Structure 1
Amino acid sequence: MRLICLADTHNKHNEIPIPKGDVLIHAGDCTDGGTRNETESFLKWFSSQPHKHKILVPGNHDFYFEKVENLANIPKNIGLLLDRGIEIEGIKFWGSPVTPGLDNWAFNRERGKAIKKHWEMIPDDTQVLITHTPPFGILDEIGSGIHLGCEELLKSLPVVQPIYHLFGHIHHASGSTKRSETKYFNLSILDERLRIMHSPIILDL
Protein backbone atom coordinates (compact mmCIF):
# COMPACT_ATOMS: atom_id res chain seq x y z
CA MET A 1 0.00 0.00 0.00
CA ARG A 2 1.42 3.37 -1.03
CA LEU A 3 0.62 6.43 1.11
CA ILE A 4 0.88 9.96 -0.32
CA CYS A 5 1.15 12.36 2.60
CA LEU A 6 1.04 16.14 2.94
CA ALA A 7 -0.06 18.93 5.30
CA ASP A 8 -0.25 22.70 5.62
CA THR A 9 -1.22 23.55 2.06
CA HIS A 10 -3.22 26.65 3.12
CA ASN A 11 -5.35 26.99 -0.06
CA LYS A 12 -2.45 26.20 -2.42
CA HIS A 13 -3.53 22.61 -3.07
CA ASN A 14 -4.03 23.24 -6.80
CA GLU A 15 -0.38 24.24 -7.17
CA ILE A 16 1.06 21.03 -5.69
CA PRO A 17 1.87 18.00 -7.89
CA ILE A 18 0.40 14.90 -6.24
CA PRO A 19 2.11 11.53 -6.86
CA LYS A 20 0.12 8.41 -7.62
CA GLY A 21 -0.68 6.09 -4.74
CA ASP A 22 -3.35 4.17 -2.88
CA VAL A 23 -4.09 6.43 0.09
CA LEU A 24 -3.93 10.23 0.00
CA ILE A 25 -3.47 11.72 3.48
CA HIS A 26 -3.74 15.38 4.47
CA ALA A 27 -2.68 16.15 8.04
CA GLY A 28 -4.30 19.54 8.49
CA ASP A 29 -4.42 23.22 7.56
CA CYS A 30 -5.91 22.63 4.15
CA THR A 31 -7.30 26.18 4.39
CA ASP A 32 -6.00 29.47 5.75
CA GLY A 33 -9.08 31.12 7.22
CA GLY A 34 -11.29 28.05 7.51
CA THR A 35 -14.13 29.67 5.56
CA ARG A 36 -16.84 27.76 3.73
CA ASN A 37 -15.54 28.85 0.32
CA GLU A 38 -11.96 27.85 1.11
CA THR A 39 -13.05 24.51 2.52
CA GLU A 40 -15.40 23.66 -0.32
CA SER A 41 -12.65 24.43 -2.83
CA PHE A 42 -10.27 22.09 -1.04
CA LEU A 43 -12.84 19.31 -0.60
CA LYS A 44 -13.76 19.43 -4.29
CA TRP A 45 -10.10 19.09 -5.20
CA PHE A 46 -9.31 16.45 -2.59
CA SER A 47 -12.31 14.27 -3.40
CA SER A 48 -11.48 14.37 -7.12
CA GLN A 49 -7.99 12.96 -6.69
CA PRO A 50 -7.57 9.49 -8.24
CA HIS A 51 -6.34 7.75 -5.08
CA LYS A 52 -8.68 4.97 -3.98
CA HIS A 53 -8.72 6.13 -0.35
CA LYS A 54 -8.50 9.65 1.07
CA ILE A 55 -7.95 10.61 4.70
CA LEU A 56 -8.28 14.13 6.07
CA VAL A 57 -7.35 15.33 9.56
CA PRO A 58 -8.10 19.07 9.94
CA GLY A 59 -5.73 21.57 11.53
CA ASN A 60 -5.93 24.70 13.64
CA HIS A 61 -6.82 26.88 10.62
CA ASP A 62 -9.68 24.62 9.53
CA PHE A 63 -12.57 26.12 11.51
CA TYR A 64 -15.21 24.76 9.12
CA PHE A 65 -14.81 21.25 10.52
CA GLU A 66 -15.52 22.35 14.10
CA LYS A 67 -19.21 22.87 13.32
CA VAL A 68 -21.17 19.63 13.48
CA GLU A 69 -23.71 20.88 10.95
CA ASN A 70 -20.96 21.18 8.32
CA LEU A 71 -19.83 17.58 8.59
CA ALA A 72 -22.76 16.33 6.53
CA ASN A 73 -21.24 18.21 3.58
CA ILE A 74 -18.04 16.17 3.49
CA PRO A 75 -17.78 14.09 0.28
CA LYS A 76 -18.45 10.42 0.99
CA ASN A 77 -15.11 9.29 -0.44
CA ILE A 78 -13.14 11.27 2.19
CA GLY A 79 -12.41 9.71 5.56
CA LEU A 80 -12.56 12.64 7.99
CA LEU A 81 -10.79 11.63 11.20
CA LEU A 82 -11.82 13.67 14.23
CA ASP A 83 -10.54 11.54 17.11
CA ARG A 84 -11.45 8.37 15.31
CA GLY A 85 -9.93 5.59 13.27
CA ILE A 86 -10.34 3.86 9.95
CA GLU A 87 -9.04 0.52 8.70
CA ILE A 88 -7.90 0.18 5.10
CA GLU A 89 -6.79 -3.19 3.77
CA GLY A 90 -5.87 -4.35 7.26
CA ILE A 91 -3.91 -1.19 8.16
CA LYS A 92 -5.27 0.77 11.13
CA PHE A 93 -5.18 4.57 10.89
CA TRP A 94 -6.12 7.02 13.66
CA GLY A 95 -6.47 10.77 13.34
CA SER A 96 -6.95 13.75 15.65
CA PRO A 97 -6.99 17.47 14.79
CA VAL A 98 -6.34 18.88 18.28
CA THR A 99 -3.40 21.18 18.96
CA PRO A 100 -2.17 22.58 22.29
CA GLY A 101 -2.92 26.20 23.01
CA LEU A 102 -5.51 28.76 24.10
CA ASP A 103 -5.27 31.12 21.15
CA ASN A 104 -8.79 30.69 19.72
CA TRP A 105 -7.63 28.59 16.82
CA ALA A 106 -9.68 25.62 15.62
CA PHE A 107 -9.43 22.45 17.71
CA ASN A 108 -7.25 24.13 20.36
CA ARG A 109 -7.03 22.40 23.73
CA GLU A 110 -5.28 23.47 26.92
CA ARG A 111 -2.03 21.67 27.63
CA GLY A 112 -2.22 18.99 30.29
CA LYS A 113 -5.42 17.15 31.21
CA ALA A 114 -7.62 18.80 28.58
CA ILE A 115 -5.56 17.58 25.65
CA LYS A 116 -4.39 14.34 27.29
CA LYS A 117 -7.87 12.82 27.08
CA HIS A 118 -7.72 13.03 23.28
CA TRP A 119 -4.49 11.04 23.14
CA GLU A 120 -5.89 8.46 25.57
CA MET A 121 -8.43 7.60 22.88
CA ILE A 122 -5.75 6.34 20.46
CA PRO A 123 -5.95 2.54 20.20
CA ASP A 124 -2.77 0.68 21.12
CA ASP A 125 -2.82 -1.18 17.80
CA THR A 126 -2.75 1.99 15.65
CA GLN A 127 -0.24 1.55 12.83
CA VAL A 128 -0.46 4.99 11.21
CA LEU A 129 -1.10 7.89 13.58
CA ILE A 130 -2.11 11.21 11.99
CA THR A 131 -2.23 14.33 14.15
CA HIS A 132 -1.96 17.98 13.22
CA THR A 133 0.36 18.77 16.11
CA PRO A 134 3.80 17.24 16.45
CA PRO A 135 4.77 15.58 19.72
CA PHE A 136 6.95 17.78 21.91
CA GLY A 137 10.60 17.80 20.83
CA ILE A 138 10.10 15.97 17.54
CA LEU A 139 10.11 18.13 14.39
CA ASP A 140 8.32 20.89 16.32
CA GLU A 141 10.90 23.68 16.51
CA ILE A 142 10.10 27.15 15.17
CA GLY A 143 12.70 29.56 13.83
CA SER A 144 13.47 31.04 17.25
CA GLY A 145 14.34 27.59 18.62
CA ILE A 146 11.21 27.15 20.74
CA HIS A 147 9.47 23.75 20.71
CA LEU A 148 5.69 23.95 20.30
CA GLY A 149 4.72 20.27 20.13
CA CYS A 150 2.46 18.49 22.59
CA GLU A 151 3.99 17.01 25.74
CA GLU A 152 1.04 14.73 26.42
CA LEU A 153 1.14 13.34 22.90
CA LEU A 154 4.82 12.51 23.36
CA LYS A 155 3.99 10.59 26.54
CA SER A 156 1.39 8.48 24.73
CA LEU A 157 3.67 7.32 21.92
CA PRO A 158 5.61 4.60 23.81
CA VAL A 159 2.27 2.92 24.47
CA VAL A 160 0.92 3.17 20.92
CA GLN A 161 4.20 2.75 19.00
CA PRO A 162 2.81 3.40 15.51
CA ILE A 163 4.85 2.50 12.46
CA TYR A 164 4.38 6.02 11.11
CA HIS A 165 3.40 9.21 12.92
CA LEU A 166 2.33 11.88 10.44
CA PHE A 167 1.73 15.55 11.34
CA GLY A 168 2.37 19.13 10.25
CA HIS A 169 1.58 22.46 11.96
CA ILE A 170 5.17 23.68 12.43
CA HIS A 171 6.22 24.74 8.94
CA HIS A 172 9.81 25.46 9.93
CA ALA A 173 10.38 21.84 11.01
CA SER A 174 9.31 19.98 7.87
CA GLY A 175 11.23 16.72 7.55
CA SER A 176 11.54 13.25 9.03
CA THR A 177 13.26 11.35 11.81
CA LYS A 178 13.10 7.97 13.54
CA ARG A 179 12.96 7.16 17.23
CA SER A 180 12.69 3.63 18.49
CA GLU A 181 10.43 1.77 16.05
CA THR A 182 8.44 4.81 14.90
CA LYS A 183 9.19 7.00 11.89
CA TYR A 184 8.03 10.61 12.27
CA PHE A 185 7.14 12.92 9.40
CA ASN A 186 6.40 16.64 9.56
CA LEU A 187 4.54 16.97 6.28
CA SER A 188 4.36 20.77 6.03
CA ILE A 189 4.44 21.73 2.37
CA LEU A 190 4.76 25.49 2.88
CA ASP A 191 7.40 27.42 4.77
CA GLU A 192 6.63 30.07 7.37
CA ARG A 193 6.07 32.66 4.61
CA LEU A 194 3.52 30.32 2.97
CA ARG A 195 5.77 29.52 0.02
CA ILE A 196 5.68 26.02 -1.47
CA MET A 197 9.01 24.53 -0.40
CA HIS A 198 8.39 20.79 -0.08
CA SER A 199 6.69 17.92 -1.87
CA PRO A 200 4.30 15.26 -0.59
CA ILE A 201 5.97 12.31 1.13
CA ILE A 202 5.62 8.83 -0.36
CA LEU A 203 5.48 5.95 2.13
CA ASP A 204 4.97 2.25 1.52
CA LEU A 205 3.36 -0.25 3.86
Structure 2
Amino acid sequence: MAFTLSEIMAARRQQQQSQRGGRGVVEVDEYSANPTQAFTFYNINQGRFQPPHVHMVDPLPHDTPKPPGYTRFVCISDTHSRTDSIQMPYGDVLLHAGDFTELGLPNEVKKFNDWLGTLPYEIKIVIAGNHELTFDQEFMADLIKQDFYYFPSASKLKPENYENVQSLLTNCIYLQDSDVTVRGFRIYGSPWQPWYYGWGFNLQRGQALLDKWNQIPDSTDILLTHCPPLGFLDWVPRKMQRVGCMELLNTVQRRVQPKLHVFGHIHEADLAFSIVHRCGQETIRQVAFNQTR
Protein backbone atom coordinates (compact mmCIF):
# COMPACT_ATOMS: atom_id res chain seq x y z
CA MET A 1 0.00 0.00 0.00
CA ALA A 2 1.55 3.29 -1.13
CA PHE A 3 1.15 6.81 0.27
CA THR A 4 1.93 10.11 -1.39
CA LEU A 5 4.63 12.42 -0.07
CA SER A 6 2.02 15.03 0.83
CA GLU A 7 0.12 12.47 2.94
CA ILE A 8 3.27 11.48 4.78
CA MET A 9 4.32 15.08 5.42
CA ALA A 10 0.82 16.02 6.63
CA ALA A 11 0.84 13.11 9.07
CA ARG A 12 4.27 14.08 10.40
CA ARG A 13 3.19 17.70 10.87
CA GLN A 14 0.13 16.52 12.76
CA GLN A 15 2.29 14.34 14.99
CA GLN A 16 4.73 17.18 15.70
CA GLN A 17 1.91 19.58 16.56
CA SER A 18 0.43 16.99 18.91
CA GLN A 19 3.78 16.47 20.63
CA ARG A 20 4.37 20.20 21.05
CA GLY A 21 0.89 21.05 22.21
CA GLY A 22 0.19 18.08 24.44
CA ARG A 23 -3.52 17.31 24.57
CA GLY A 24 -5.41 18.71 21.64
CA VAL A 25 -8.72 18.77 19.82
CA VAL A 26 -9.52 15.57 17.94
CA GLU A 27 -11.14 15.78 14.53
CA VAL A 28 -12.44 13.09 12.18
CA ASP A 29 -9.42 11.34 10.71
CA GLU A 30 -8.97 11.28 6.96
CA TYR A 31 -8.56 7.49 7.09
CA SER A 32 -11.50 6.94 9.42
CA ALA A 33 -13.56 4.92 6.95
CA ASN A 34 -10.73 2.47 6.20
CA PRO A 35 -9.18 1.22 9.46
CA THR A 36 -6.90 -1.32 7.75
CA GLN A 37 -5.38 1.38 5.56
CA ALA A 38 -5.19 3.72 8.56
CA PHE A 39 -3.23 1.13 10.54
CA THR A 40 -0.70 0.68 7.74
CA PHE A 41 -0.28 4.41 7.23
CA TYR A 42 0.14 5.39 10.87
CA ASN A 43 2.29 2.38 11.69
CA ILE A 44 4.73 3.22 8.89
CA ASN A 45 4.78 6.98 9.29
CA GLN A 46 4.23 7.60 12.99
CA GLY A 47 4.78 4.36 14.87
CA ARG A 48 1.48 4.95 16.67
CA PHE A 49 1.23 1.33 17.84
CA GLN A 50 4.68 1.00 19.40
CA PRO A 51 6.57 2.53 22.35
CA PRO A 52 6.82 5.34 23.37
CA HIS A 53 3.24 5.95 22.23
CA VAL A 54 2.05 2.74 23.86
CA HIS A 55 2.66 0.89 27.11
CA MET A 56 1.07 -2.55 27.11
CA VAL A 57 -0.17 -3.85 30.47
CA ASP A 58 0.70 -7.51 31.08
CA PRO A 59 -1.40 -9.84 33.26
CA LEU A 60 -0.20 -10.59 36.78
CA PRO A 61 -0.45 -14.02 38.41
CA HIS A 62 -3.71 -14.19 40.33
CA ASP A 63 -1.94 -14.59 43.67
CA THR A 64 0.63 -11.80 43.23
CA PRO A 65 0.98 -9.90 46.55
CA LYS A 66 -0.39 -6.37 46.43
CA PRO A 67 2.01 -3.63 47.59
CA PRO A 68 0.70 -1.31 50.33
CA GLY A 69 -1.23 1.69 49.04
CA TYR A 70 -2.16 0.08 45.71
CA THR A 71 -5.55 -0.62 44.17
CA ARG A 72 -5.82 -3.81 42.16
CA PHE A 73 -8.16 -3.75 39.15
CA VAL A 74 -9.40 -7.02 37.68
CA CYS A 75 -10.30 -6.53 34.01
CA ILE A 76 -12.64 -8.86 32.15
CA SER A 77 -14.82 -8.75 29.05
CA ASP A 78 -17.11 -10.74 26.74
CA THR A 79 -18.26 -13.38 29.22
CA HIS A 80 -21.51 -13.95 27.24
CA SER A 81 -23.44 -15.65 30.07
CA ARG A 82 -20.64 -18.21 30.50
CA THR A 83 -19.45 -17.33 33.96
CA ASP A 84 -20.09 -20.63 35.74
CA SER A 85 -16.56 -22.00 35.36
CA ILE A 86 -14.56 -18.79 35.62
CA GLN A 87 -11.99 -18.67 38.42
CA MET A 88 -11.55 -15.03 39.30
CA PRO A 89 -8.28 -13.58 40.66
CA TYR A 90 -7.86 -11.48 43.77
CA GLY A 91 -8.53 -7.78 43.49
CA ASP A 92 -10.23 -4.66 44.80
CA VAL A 93 -12.18 -3.35 41.79
CA LEU A 94 -13.75 -5.38 38.96
CA LEU A 95 -14.03 -3.79 35.51
CA HIS A 96 -16.21 -5.57 32.94
CA ALA A 97 -15.95 -4.17 29.39
CA GLY A 98 -19.27 -5.42 28.05
CA ASP A 99 -20.95 -8.38 26.30
CA PHE A 100 -21.88 -10.01 29.59
CA THR A 101 -24.92 -11.63 27.88
CA GLU A 102 -25.77 -13.16 24.52
CA LEU A 103 -28.72 -10.92 23.65
CA GLY A 104 -29.36 -8.76 26.69
CA LEU A 105 -32.45 -10.75 27.64
CA PRO A 106 -33.71 -9.93 31.15
CA ASN A 107 -33.07 -13.47 32.40
CA GLU A 108 -29.48 -13.25 31.14
CA VAL A 109 -28.97 -9.93 32.89
CA LYS A 110 -30.37 -11.37 36.13
CA LYS A 111 -28.03 -14.36 35.88
CA PHE A 112 -25.05 -12.07 35.38
CA ASN A 113 -26.11 -9.86 38.26
CA ASP A 114 -26.45 -12.90 40.53
CA TRP A 115 -22.92 -13.96 39.58
CA LEU A 116 -21.61 -10.48 40.37
CA GLY A 117 -23.21 -10.80 43.78
CA THR A 118 -21.04 -13.82 44.57
CA LEU A 119 -17.78 -12.00 43.83
CA PRO A 120 -15.80 -10.52 46.73
CA TYR A 121 -14.63 -7.32 45.05
CA GLU A 122 -15.29 -4.11 46.93
CA ILE A 123 -16.47 -2.33 43.77
CA LYS A 124 -17.75 -3.75 40.45
CA ILE A 125 -18.10 -1.54 37.38
CA VAL A 126 -19.80 -2.72 34.19
CA ILE A 127 -20.54 -1.35 30.73
CA ALA A 128 -22.67 -2.83 27.95
CA GLY A 129 -21.44 -4.19 24.63
CA ASN A 130 -23.00 -4.85 21.26
CA HIS A 131 -24.66 -8.05 22.60
CA GLU A 132 -26.63 -6.15 25.27
CA LEU A 133 -29.38 -5.40 22.75
CA THR A 134 -32.00 -4.39 25.32
CA PHE A 135 -29.68 -1.72 26.75
CA ASP A 136 -29.81 0.12 23.41
CA GLN A 137 -33.33 1.53 23.39
CA GLU A 138 -33.18 2.90 19.83
CA PHE A 139 -31.95 -0.42 18.52
CA MET A 140 -34.77 -2.27 20.25
CA ALA A 141 -37.40 0.13 18.94
CA ASP A 142 -36.28 -0.57 15.37
CA LEU A 143 -35.90 -4.29 16.03
CA ILE A 144 -39.46 -4.71 17.26
CA LYS A 145 -40.84 -2.77 14.30
CA GLN A 146 -38.99 -5.01 11.87
CA ASP A 147 -39.44 -8.25 13.81
CA PHE A 148 -35.89 -8.99 12.72
CA TYR A 149 -35.47 -12.76 12.33
CA TYR A 150 -31.81 -12.72 13.37
CA PHE A 151 -32.75 -11.94 16.99
CA PRO A 152 -36.13 -13.66 17.38
CA SER A 153 -36.03 -13.98 21.18
CA ALA A 154 -35.19 -10.28 21.56
CA SER A 155 -37.59 -8.99 18.90
CA LYS A 156 -40.52 -10.70 20.63
CA LEU A 157 -39.94 -8.80 23.88
CA LYS A 158 -42.47 -6.18 24.89
CA PRO A 159 -41.09 -2.74 25.77
CA GLU A 160 -42.22 -3.08 29.39
CA ASN A 161 -40.01 -6.18 29.69
CA TYR A 162 -36.77 -4.34 28.94
CA GLU A 163 -37.28 -0.58 29.31
CA ASN A 164 -35.74 -0.65 32.80
CA VAL A 165 -33.32 -3.50 32.17
CA GLN A 166 -30.41 -1.53 33.64
CA SER A 167 -32.14 -1.61 37.01
CA LEU A 168 -31.55 -5.37 37.13
CA LEU A 169 -27.85 -4.69 37.69
CA THR A 170 -28.06 -4.18 41.43
CA ASN A 171 -24.65 -5.65 42.28
CA CYS A 172 -22.51 -3.23 40.29
CA ILE A 173 -22.13 0.33 39.04
CA TYR A 174 -23.35 0.51 35.45
CA LEU A 175 -21.78 3.16 33.23
CA GLN A 176 -23.12 4.32 29.87
CA ASP A 177 -21.43 7.46 28.61
CA SER A 178 -20.89 8.35 32.25
CA ASP A 179 -18.22 8.22 34.92
CA VAL A 180 -17.64 7.39 38.55
CA THR A 181 -14.73 8.06 40.89
CA VAL A 182 -13.57 5.19 43.07
CA ARG A 183 -10.49 5.13 45.29
CA GLY A 184 -9.35 8.39 43.75
CA PHE A 185 -9.56 7.15 40.13
CA ARG A 186 -12.01 8.66 37.67
CA ILE A 187 -13.45 5.85 35.53
CA TYR A 188 -15.45 6.54 32.36
CA GLY A 189 -17.44 3.88 30.50
CA SER A 190 -18.97 3.78 27.01
CA PRO A 191 -20.53 0.90 25.01
CA TRP A 192 -20.31 2.23 21.44
CA GLN A 193 -18.38 0.81 18.50
CA PRO A 194 -18.08 1.08 14.72
CA TRP A 195 -20.90 -0.70 12.87
CA TYR A 196 -20.35 -4.46 13.25
CA TYR A 197 -22.88 -6.90 11.76
CA GLY A 198 -25.88 -4.85 12.85
CA TRP A 199 -25.80 -5.44 16.60
CA GLY A 200 -26.49 -2.97 19.41
CA PHE A 201 -24.64 0.26 20.12
CA ASN A 202 -23.37 0.44 16.51
CA LEU A 203 -22.52 3.78 14.94
CA GLN A 204 -21.03 4.81 11.63
CA ARG A 205 -17.32 5.56 11.62
CA GLY A 206 -16.33 9.19 11.74
CA GLN A 207 -18.29 12.01 13.34
CA ALA A 208 -20.99 9.86 14.96
CA LEU A 209 -18.42 7.95 17.01
CA LEU A 210 -16.26 10.99 17.61
CA ASP A 211 -19.28 12.73 19.16
CA LYS A 212 -19.44 9.91 21.71
CA TRP A 213 -15.70 9.98 22.43
CA ASN A 214 -15.82 13.77 22.82
CA GLN A 215 -17.91 13.20 25.94
CA ILE A 216 -14.98 11.50 27.67
CA PRO A 217 -13.51 13.95 30.19
CA ASP A 218 -9.85 14.94 29.83
CA SER A 219 -9.32 14.00 33.46
CA THR A 220 -10.30 10.35 32.96
CA ASP A 221 -7.87 7.98 34.69
CA ILE A 222 -9.34 4.70 33.47
CA LEU A 223 -11.27 4.41 30.22
CA LEU A 224 -13.65 1.49 29.79
CA THR A 225 -14.95 0.92 26.25
CA HIS A 226 -16.34 -2.16 24.58
CA CYS A 227 -14.60 -1.66 21.27
CA PRO A 228 -10.83 -1.46 20.78
CA PRO A 229 -8.99 1.52 19.39
CA LEU A 230 -7.46 1.01 15.98
CA GLY A 231 -4.44 -1.27 16.00
CA PHE A 232 -4.92 -3.01 19.35
CA LEU A 233 -6.49 -6.48 19.46
CA ASP A 234 -8.70 -5.49 16.52
CA TRP A 235 -7.43 -7.83 13.80
CA VAL A 236 -10.06 -10.17 12.27
CA PRO A 237 -8.11 -12.86 10.38
CA ARG A 238 -11.02 -14.30 8.39
CA LYS A 239 -11.69 -10.85 6.94
CA MET A 240 -8.04 -9.80 6.83
CA GLN A 241 -9.15 -6.49 8.32
CA ARG A 242 -8.59 -4.14 11.22
CA VAL A 243 -11.88 -3.16 12.83
CA GLY A 244 -10.77 -0.85 15.66
CA CYS A 245 -11.90 2.76 15.86
CA MET A 246 -9.60 5.46 14.49
CA GLU A 247 -11.37 8.23 16.39
CA LEU A 248 -11.03 6.30 19.64
CA LEU A 249 -7.31 5.86 19.04
CA ASN A 250 -6.86 9.58 18.44
CA THR A 251 -8.97 10.43 21.48
CA VAL A 252 -6.96 8.12 23.74
CA GLN A 253 -3.51 9.11 22.46
CA ARG A 254 -3.95 12.79 21.69
CA ARG A 255 -6.51 14.07 24.20
CA VAL A 256 -7.55 11.90 27.14
CA GLN A 257 -4.32 9.92 27.68
CA PRO A 258 -5.75 7.70 30.46
CA LYS A 259 -3.60 5.65 32.81
CA LEU A 260 -5.39 2.54 31.60
CA HIS A 261 -7.69 1.69 28.70
CA VAL A 262 -9.75 -1.51 29.08
CA PHE A 263 -11.72 -2.99 26.17
CA GLY A 264 -12.85 -6.27 24.56
CA HIS A 265 -15.19 -7.05 21.63
CA ILE A 266 -12.98 -8.80 19.03
CA HIS A 267 -12.56 -12.42 20.13
CA GLU A 268 -10.31 -13.42 17.23
CA ALA A 269 -7.76 -10.73 18.03
CA ASP A 270 -5.89 -12.77 20.61
CA LEU A 271 -5.12 -16.51 20.33
CA ALA A 272 -5.07 -17.06 24.08
CA PHE A 273 -8.37 -15.23 24.35
CA SER A 274 -9.93 -17.53 21.73
CA ILE A 275 -8.64 -20.70 23.41
CA VAL A 276 -10.03 -19.69 26.79
CA HIS A 277 -13.30 -18.55 25.24
CA ARG A 278 -13.86 -21.96 23.65
CA CYS A 279 -13.55 -23.46 27.10
CA GLY A 280 -16.49 -21.32 28.17
CA GLN A 281 -14.31 -18.96 30.17
CA GLU A 282 -12.75 -15.61 29.52
CA THR A 283 -9.44 -13.85 29.44
CA ILE A 284 -8.76 -12.18 32.80
CA ARG A 285 -6.24 -9.44 33.34
CA GLN A 286 -5.42 -7.60 36.52
CA VAL A 287 -3.29 -4.54 37.05
CA ALA A 288 -2.15 -2.66 40.15
CA PHE A 289 -2.04 1.11 40.46
CA ASN A 290 -0.60 3.22 43.21
CA GLN A 291 -3.39 5.15 44.88
CA THR A 292 -1.20 8.21 45.39
CA ARG A 293 -1.98 10.84 42.76
Give 1:38 deviation, angstroms: 1.3
Matched, 1:100 2:194: yes
Corresponding position of 1:50: 120
Select the structure with the greater relative contact order (CA < 8 A; seq sep ≥ 6): 2
Which digits, 9 at most, give the CA deviation of each residue in 1:132-155, with x for residues without a partner? 000011221012331111111111
1:141-190 superposed Cα distances (whole Å, 9 cap, x missing partner)? 01233111111111111210011110000112238xxxxxxxxxxxx955
The structure-2 alpha-carbon separation of the partners of 1:174 and 1:125, relative to structure 1 and needing over 3 Å to count, comes to: farther
Question: Do the aligned residues in 2 keep the contact of 1:127 with 1:164 (CA within 8 Å)?
Answer: yes
Greater alpha carbon shift after TM alignment, 4-13 vs 137-146: 137-146
| Residue 9 of structure 1: how far off its partner (Å) | 1.0
Residue 149 of structure 1 corresponds to 244
Answer yes or no: is 1:114 the counterpart of 2:208: yes
Greater Cα radius of gyration, structure 1 or 2: 2
Q: 1:200 — aligned with what?
A: 284
Which amino acid counterpart does residue 20 of structure 1 have in structure 2? Y
Q: Which has the higher helix share?
A: 2
Of residues 229, 244, 247 in structure 2, which corresponds to 1:135?
Answer: 229
1:170 matched residue in structure 2? 266
From 57, 69, 72, the equivalent of 2:164 is: 69
Deviation at 1:105, TM superposition (A): 0.8
Task: String of CA shifts for 1:7-40, please: whole Å, max 9, x gaps.
Answer: 0111111111011211011101111122111111
Q: In the alignment, which residue of structure 1 is the partner of 2:11?
A: none
Specify the SS of the correspondent of 1:13: coil
Match of 1:39 in 2: 109
Alignment partner of 1:14 out of 84, 89, 111: 84
Q: Which structure dedicates a bigger proportion of its chain to strand?
A: 1
Q: How high is the TM-score relative to the length of structure 2?
A: 0.61
Q: Percent identity?
A: 36
C-alpha separation in 2, matches of 1:107 and 1:36:
18
Could you tell me which of 256, 267, 275 is aligned with 1:160?
256
C-alpha change, 1:56 and 1:43, in structure 2 (3 Å) is same
SS in 2 for 1:58: coil
Number of aligned residues: 192
Matched with 1:180 is none
1:42-61 deviations in whole A, cap 9, x for unaligned?
Answer: 11111331100000011101
TM-score by length of 1: 0.86
Consecutive unaligned residues in structure 2, runs of 5 or more: 1-70, 138-162
User: Partners of 2:81 and 2:166 in 1: how far apart?
Assistant: 19
Q: Cα distance 1:56–1:6, how it changes in 2: closer, same or farther (>3 A)?
A: same
Consecutive unaligned residues of structure 1, counting only runs of 5 or more, are 176-187
Cα RMSD for the two superposed structures: 2.1
SS at match of 1:28: coil
Segment of structure 1 superposing worse, 130-139 or 96-105: 96-105
Q: Note closer, same or farther for the CA distance 1:191–1:151 as it changes in structure 2 (3 Å cut).
A: farther
CA contact (8 A) 1:34 1:61 kept: yes
